[in-house]
Structure 1
Amino acid sequence: NCKGKKLLDLNVQSCVVDISFICFISSTCVNIVILVASFTFHFSRFQLTYAYYIFLAWLYDSRNRQKRAACRYDAFVSYNSHDEAWVYRELVPHLEQDQGWRLCLHHRDFLPGKPIVENIAEAIYGSRKTICVVSRRYLQSEWCSKEMQLASFRLFDEREDVLILVFLEDIPSSHLSPYYRMKRLLKRRSYLSWPRAAQHPQLFWEKLRQALRSTTTEEEDRLRLTVTL
């Protein structure tokens, strides 16, 4: 209580703001936030990355749902650059030249200067189907993983037959354990195997043609895409 005291007796030090204490509190809070963010990123970076791409796919889907009545391509081909020779030597001639499908290939059809993620999203949502050419190199590729994530999101979001899996090599199920998304898809969907079609390639291309023509998951299941030769 300062009533009755003289103004000259007032302790002006009590009115001084302690700048050093405020700086200490501020720097401590900043350090804690950085520490928590670093630990979160270190232990959850894959989940955060996945959530980012899922959000990006959802955003693109909500903005372009009305524009997808007529797709520009029949199929977007997701593949690793190490498998490019097979794609251009086998897949493109059979599907584009022999069967007349229009394919979207990232080395040929992606727009230069546009962010790669936007190109991928536009290719997947601008095509009726996505063909994933799966190999060991494909599973190890970060960008192929992103393409698989966006294609999977579209599959589960639209609940339509939009994803076709083509295995270039026999990969044991035990080797797919680190790739939980691929393993989960194989439990629900049939697939095409190029090695198993070695002696009957025409059957392989016919099954792929049927997959490109199908419009619902039920129809795909009825066609039984898995090649058992």
Structure 2
Amino acid sequence: MLQAMKHLEDFTAENFYISAPDVDTFKYNRQLKSLTIRQTDMSDLDPGLFQPMPHLQVLDFSESKIKSLDFLFQADLSALRCLKLSSNEITVINETVFQFLPALTYLDLQNNPFTCDCSNAGFIQWVKNNNQTQVANAYQYTCSFPVAEQGNKLLDFHIQSCWMDVSFLCFISSTCLVVLTLLASFIYYFLRWQLAYAYRLFLAFLYDSRKRKAGARHRYDAFISYNVDDEAWVYQEMLPALEGEQGWRLCLHHRDFQPGKPIIENITDAIYGSRKTICVINRRYLQSEWCSREIQMASFRLFDEQKDVLVLLFLEEIPAHQLSPYYRMRKLVKKRTYLSWPQAGQHTGVFWQNVGRALETGDAPTETTDLLPGPAGR
């Protein structure tokens, strides 16, 4: 019937179709300007239906169970001026669909169950701001979803909370990045050693707590903390006297550290696994990073346990003013037991007897005990 109506301009069908018309229904009616199909289930509408209608100006699909306007993205309705979709099932509208309707001047969406949330924020803003299209009774559109918004007006929904100010977000992000960079640089330059020390103290605390719970016994009588340049002295002088003659069990990092284990864990195990720590000190020792870490760990154990666990042994005379930069060492020298190898002179046997006495002392703090022979004037 429609094939013969090549000049048909207006077509109306109400409660006529059972479902959406076939895609080829109007392929012979290229002059069609108004199309009305009401009271029909158009939920399965094929956008190809509009391909033969380049001049369509009025489209009325009211009461047709349409759920979305997505079909308009592919409909090619550049001449459409009036769109009526009242009493359908439309809940959310993507405002970008109206970019495909450049000639649209009238829009009727009454009696649709709109959702009042951020999914419709773009459509609400479009309705308020566009100057070309008249949206019929837009201020009467009501919310059906969510339940908390039911009965409220669609255009009263506050869309400000839905928009993210990208420029402000970029400003905040870049500011935070700059501040974090400056803070990280400041911490690294001024506080890196304090943080490293705090980390090691934390590890030592965990280690000590674990050992106390396990009730572990000390494996060694003393851990020897020394600079690698003094290794020959340790092996030639200290080991024969303390291990060979006196029978002490000593822990030396070159000999007794566990291979493959992180060095900081080896240091912690050695200090807490020994009754005492003997620090073999000279200028090279004070300048060594790892030696500094060892004496810091031993100092923490001294502070934590309040026991006589630290013995200082000076291999050379170090004036007081040269100890000033090493405030921790200077403080320990004022309070702890210490010995001087240069002052032993030819009486090395007495010197090693004094070291043995230091290793024999019990757990009581020795801050008030007599100092063993040390550098003059200290």
Judge same fold: TM > 0.5, yes or no.
yes
Q: Select the residue among 123, 127, 130 that pairs with 2:274.
A: 127
Unaligned runs of 5+ in 1: 1-5
Quote the offset at 1:156 in angstroms: 1.2
Residue number in structure 2 paired with 1:216: 363
CA separation of 1:67 and 1:170: change in aligned 2, threshold 3 A: farther
Deviations 1:131-189 (A, max 9, x none): 10001000000000000000001111111111011100010011000000000001111
Give the aligned partner of residue 328 of structure 2: 181
Q: Please tell me whether the aligned partners of residues 74 and 212 of structure 1 are also in contact (alpha carbons under 8 angstroms).
A: yes
Larger proportion of helix: 1
What is the rounded CA distance, in whole Å, between the counterparts of 1:11 and 1:111 in structure 2? 74
Deviation, 1:9, is 3.5
Computed over aligned residues only, the root mean square deviation of the Cα atoms, in angstroms, reads 2.4
Q: 1:172 to 1:221 in 2, by over 3 A?
A: same
Residue pair 1:68, 1:126 contacting (<8 A) in 2 also: no
The DSSP-based 3-state class of the residue aligned with 2:218 is: coil
On the 8 A contact 2:306/2:365 being kept in 1, the answer is: no
Output the CA distance in 1 between the equivalents of 2:302 and 2:365.
13
User: Share of identical aligned residues, percent?
Assistant: 60
Q: Tell me, yes or no, if structure 1 residue 154 matches structure 2 residue 272.
A: no
| Structure 1 position 55 matched with structure 2 position 202 | yes
Q: In structure 2, what is the Cα distance between the partners aligned to 1:20 and 1:188? A: 61
- Which runs of structure 2 are paired with 1:32-111 in the superposition (5 Å)? 32-67=179-214, 69-111=216-258
Secondary structure of the equivalent of 2:308? Answer: coil
Q: Please give the per-residue CA displacement for 1:109-151, whole angstroms capped at 9, x wherever unaligned.
A: 1011110000000000000010100010000000000000000
1:49 offset after TM fit, Å?
2.1
Does residue 9 (structure 1) correspond to residue 9 (structure 2)? The answer is: no
Distance in 2 of aligned mates of 1:226 and 1:83:
21
Matches of 1:30 and 1:11, distance apart in 2: 37
Q: Secondary structure at the match of 2:259?
A: coil
Asked if structure 1 preserves the Cα contact closer than 8 Å seen for 2:335 and 2:367, the reply is: no
Q: How far apart, CA to CA, are the structure 2 residues paired with 1:209 and 1:99?
A: 7
Q: Is the 8 A contact 1:77 1:104 kept in 2?
A: yes
Measured in 2, the distance between the counterparts of 1:219 and 1:172 equals: 23
Q: In terms of mean alpha carbon deviation, does 90-99 or 7-16 score higher? A: 7-16
Distance 1:130 1:68, change over 3 A: farther
> What runs of 5+ residues in structure 2 fail to find an aligned partner?
1-122, 131-158
Counterpart position of 1:3: none
3-state SS of 2:312 partner: strand
RCO (CA 8 Å, sep 6+): is it higher in 1 or 2?
1
Which of the pair has more CA radius of gyration?
2
Against the structure 1 CA distance between its residues 59 and 189, is the aligned structure 2 distance closer, same or farther, given a 3 Å change threshold? same
Q: Does 1:138 align with 2:285?
A: yes
SS, match of residue 10 in structure 1 = helix
Q: Which amino acid aligns with 2:129?
A: N
Paired letter, 1:27: S
Q: Is the 8 A contact 1:190 1:221 kept in 2?
A: no
User: 1:210 touches 1:223 (CA, 8 Å); kept in 2?
Assistant: no
Aligned length: 224
Tell me how far apart the structure 2 counterparts of residues 188 and 220 of structure 1 sit (CA, whole Å).
5
Q: Which moved more, 1:110-119 or 1:35-44?
A: 35-44
Q: 1:44 Cα deviation (Å)?
A: 1.9
Residue pair 2:317, 2:375 contacting (<8 A) in 1 also: no
